[in-house]
Amino acid sequence: MSQKIPTQDQSPNPVNIHQPQQLDLHAKRTKIHPRSIKGFFNNIRHTTMTFVILLYGLLPWVNWEGRQALLFDLDRQQFFIFDLTFAPQDFFFLSWLLMIAAFGLFLVTVFAGRVFCGYVCPQSTWTAIYMWIERATEGERNARMKLDKANISAEKVLRRGIKHFLWLLIAFGTGFTFVGYFSPIRSLAPEFFTGILGGWGYFFIGLFTVFTYMNAGWLREQVCIHMCPYGRLQSVMFDKDTLIVSYDAERGESRGSRKKNTDYKADGLGDCIDCQLCVQVCPTGIDIRDGLQVACIQCALCIDACDSIMDQMNYPRGLVRYTTEHILEHKSSYHWLRPRLIGYSAVLLVLIGMFVYTLAMRIPLTIEAIRDRNQLYRENNEGLIENVYTLKVMNKSQQMQTYHVEIEGDAAITMTKVPDFSLAAGEVSNLPVTLQADPESLKQTKYDIEFEVHATNNDDMKAKTESRFLAPTH
Residue-wise pLDDT tens digits, 190-209: 999 998 988 899 999 999 99
- CATH class entry, domain 365-470: mainly beta
Range in 24-38, 105-119, 378-392 the model is least confident about: 24-38
Q: For the chain, give the percent of residues with pLDDT over 90.
A: 62
Q: How far is 416 from 436, CA to CA, in rounded Å?
A: 7
Helix/strand/coil (H, E, C) string of 393-406?
A: EEECCCCCEEEEEE
The residue among 111, 107, 123, 106 whose CA lies nearest residue 49 is 123
Domain locations along the chain: 31-237, 365-470
Amino acid 83: pLDDT = 83
396 vs 175: which has the higher pLDDT: 175
Average pLDDT, the chain: 89
How many helices and strands, by DSSP H and E, does the chain display?
Answer: 15, 18
Whether pTM exceeds 0.85: no
Q: How far is 361 from 196, CA to CA, in rounded Å?
A: 41
Amino acid 4: pLDDT = 41
Whether the pLDDT of residue 280 is over 50: the answer is: yes
CA angle 402, 403, 405 (to 5 degrees): 160
Q: How far is 310 from 449, CA to CA, in rounded Å?
A: 78
Contact 307, 317 (CB under 8 A): yes
Q: How far is 99 from 273, CA to CA, in rounded Å?
A: 46
